[in-house]
Amino acid sequence: MLSSELLRTRISRGKIMPLFCTTNFGNGSDYELANKLVVFFTNAQKDRQCKGDLLQKIGLLESEYDYKLVRGLFTLLERRCIFGRLNSLSTIATPMLIRQKLFEESSKQGLALSDSQRQGIIQQIANQMHISFDDVETLMWSDKDENLILTQFDTINTKDLILWYNLSLFQTLLFKCTELEFYVKGGVYWKEVLRNVKRYGLMYNLEYDSEDDADEDSIKCVLEGPLSLFKMTDRYGTSMAKLLPSIVGTPTWKINGSIVKKTDSGQKIYSFELSSDNTKDFLRSRIDPEYQNDGNAENNDYVYDSSTEAAFAKKFYQHFNQNDKFGWKISREPDPLIADGKAMIPDFLFERFGRKVYFEIVGFWTKEYLERKAAKLKVLFDNDEKNKNNQSIDLLVAVNSELSCSQMETISKDRVFTFKKDVSIKPVLEHLKQIDVEITEEKVVNTKIKLDEHSLDLISIKQIAREYAIPETAALKILKTDYPNEYVVIGSYLISKEKTTIVNNFLDGISKFVQACTVMTSHKIPDSCHADLLSELGYDVIWNDLNPDNAIITKK
């Protein structure tokens, strides 16, 4: 964070924005200035220059660039420095002792009004302390700030300096905040940010964001700003500024709020809004996208809080293919659910066709933790909180049967099941199957399928499902309803009865299974349908051994 006098902003139509540094190259650019400053500090440390010399060079830049920008970058670089006195003289005497002796001698002899008198007093003290005249002059004011030597500089590259400056500028803006709202994506990040909210003593409330059209389930955290309080505004403002890095350090975030600013006509309130989208070149997430967990954490047990969670996830992957675009997907620690304005972050989220099912595993923990967890769960179940689609929150809870927690006994029994060692996936599968039925019925009602006239003889149920983004069960039900007597279901295909009749006629007199397959292939029947179609046409396949060439077909 920078001092308030170094805050650079742009105001337009009641909105205020930090005047961020850019990383663009070119003469007179912010990057050029930042690079010059890094070079100045690097050379000053290398040449053991004093701070006064460094300040003189910086002063020249202030006439060429924005003063606040120069001073802001200088302030940050100065925090990476260690200034000290010359080591060769530090053992001789302290500056305070030298000054004390000089002033005492001067008071005895009277004020030194000429250079010769001054030099005489200095020489006399040098003789008394057995050091040189030059050493006395050097030591006398060596502890003054501008005379300190740059002994150590923690170097930084230019781009990182600019990004650091931008973050510090943003923090300074928040110091005058009256209210702040923010959103981050992902329960893992919510958990970290809310932990810092509590650690810094900030007052917060979670609520659904009714104005966010992009994400139907978006929630926001509302913080009271320092200027909305009557006491401890400085400390509270600093705490809010400290929270900022944990928010902008996540891959996806959004912040908006109100700022009080003094103007010629008095104090005015300005609004601001920033996000990870419109600050991509100015603020950087500390999370490298290359290493982000995309939710498919199969075989990555290290992302789980416990072996119980890891074991359950493994079972889920065995039942559901995560590469299936329209199948059930699992993600760990989704965005929070809201219980009386506070966060409850479930362990897992299952998603399919916009339907969401949350899953919480309550393992053995401390009594206090269990009481808090149970209280949040009870609020979620009892209040039947609604999201913006007016749908109830679909939450399943697996509870360790060895838990001793009275509150657990008071929460809904319909969505709670117990486990001893490992969490059974059976109750979850049964619940998801119920939802699959609901999804199918919904899609059947709302979907109208139009078939391609050139492919009416053979219809791929999977292809229709992908084309209309519906479950295969819904596609099959719609097609059977629209064409009740025209097709037979063979595997994952619908084959017209006309085509099966033609194939049946060509099979007359054929006894070899491979010959029958050749006939069906010639009529563009997929290999996966051959055995089922033969059965539909009244044939049995008799296998004499494992060689298909020796298999025969007979009429039932």
Q: In this predicted model, what pLDDT tens digit does every residue of 219-277 receive, in sequence order?
A: 888 887 555 544 445 667 788 888 999 999 999 999 998 888 877 787 888 999 999 99
Dist. CA 126–CA 138, nearest whole Å: 12
Backbone angles phi, psi at 267, to 5 degrees: -80, 135
Q: Tokens for 479?
A: 């097609």
How many residues appear in the chain? Answer: 556
* Partners of 177 in the β-ladder: 259
Sign of the CA dihedral with 231 first, then 237, 242, and 244 last: positive
* DSSP code for 457: S
pLDDT of 301 over the 60 cut? no
At how many degrees (to 10) do helices 30-46 and 67-78 cross?
Answer: 40
Dist. CA 176–CA 271, nearest whole Å: 11
- Which pLDDT band, with edges at 50, 70 and 90, does 86 fall under? low
**Strand, coil or helix: what is 362?**
strand
Q: Tokens for 113?
A: 């009004």
Dist. CA 10–CA 13, nearest whole Å: 10
At how many degrees (to 10) do helices 513-522 and 497-506 cross?
Answer: 140
Q: Are 132 and 87 in contact (CB under 8 A)?
A: no
Q: How many CB atoms lie within 10 A of CB 94?
A: 14
Closest CA to 169 of 254, 261, 73: 73
Q: 79 to each of 37, 41, 506, how far by Cα in Å? A: 13, 11, 88
**Strand, coil or helix: what is 218?**
coil
**Is the model's pTM score more than 0.85?**
no
For Cα atoms 493, 497, 502, give the angle at the middle one, nearest 5 degrees.
105
Dist. CA 332–CA 313, nearest whole Å: 9
- Can you list the alpha helix ranges (DSSP code H) found in 483-523? 497-506, 513-522
What per-residue confidence (pLDDT) applies to 413?
Answer: 67
Dist. CA 285–CA 76, nearest whole Å: 20
Mean pLDDT across the chain, nearest whole number?
82
Q: 219 to each of 70, 180, 182, 210, 351, how far by Cα in Å? A: 39, 14, 9, 8, 18
Encoded amino acid at 181, one letter: E
Q: Which is more confidently placed, 10 or 337?
A: 10
What per-residue confidence (pLDDT) applies to 441?
Answer: 94
pLDDT in tens, 331-388: 888 888 887 777 778 889 999 998 999 998 887 565 666 666 777 777 777 665 444 4
Burial of 91 (0-12, 13-18, 19+ CB in 10 A): exposed
What per-residue confidence (pLDDT) applies to 293?
Answer: 41
DSSP 81-107: EEEE--HHHHTT--HHHHHHHHHHHHH
pLDDT of 296 over the 70 cut? no
Q: Which domains, ranges and CATH numbers included, belong to the chain?
A: 86-142 (no CATH), 175-292 (3.30.70), 296-438 (3.40.1350), 447-555 (no CATH)
Residues 6+ apart with CB under 8 A from 129: 92, 93, 98, 101, 136
Backbone angles phi, psi at 29, to 5 degrees: -80, 165
